[in-house]
Every structure is written in C-alpha cells, then in structure tokens.
Amino acid sequence: MFYMDIRLSDKRNEIQIEPISVHGILWLQTHFESDHWESISNGQAIIPTKDAEMLGEDAQKAGLNVNFINSLTQIDKT
C-alpha cells in the first residue's frame, strides 16, 4: 500500500492540491497564508504547474510522500 501525504492532480494545465494526511495539511499550512487554508484543506486549491512542481519537490525534501497524477484522457474508439 502506498502512503501519501499530498496529491497533486493535473487539471488542464493547472494543479489541484489535495492534502491526504494530517502531515500534508500541516506542511501546506506552513507554506500558504491562513486565508487559503480552508480551500487547501478541502482540496479546492489550484496552482500553476510550475509552482506545483516546486511545491512537490520541497515537500519531498521535507520527508512527505507526494503523488503527482497526470490528467487522464479517454481515447475515442469510433
């Protein structure tokens, strides 16, 4: 089983931040102003891809498990 603290999901060239664990939420709170905490904790925050890549690297260096999910596209078989 893969343990995850933060999930970063590609949403059409921007990245949705989803804290999965308490450690992920606490770490994100140290990197964003308090007026953003509610949207971050609810998985409603979107940031540019470049910023998400830097955020993910920083989180991994801090010992958190980060999962980056690329957007999925369904192929039309007609």
Q: Is 10 exposed, middle or buried (0-12, 13-18, 19+ CB in 10 A)?
A: middle
pTM of the predicted protein model: 0.82
What pLDDT, on the 0 to 100 scale, is given for residue 61? 97
Mean pLDDT along residues 67-77: 67
pLDDT digit string (tens) for 13-52? 899 999 999 999 999 999 999 999 999 999 899 999 999 9
Reduced to 3 states (helix: H, G, I; strand: E, B; else coil), residue 46 is strand
User: Would you place residue 77 in the very low, low, confident or very high pLDDT band (cuts 50, 70, 90)?
Assistant: low
User: Would you place residue 70 in the very low, low, confident or very high pLDDT band (cuts 50, 70, 90)?
Assistant: confident
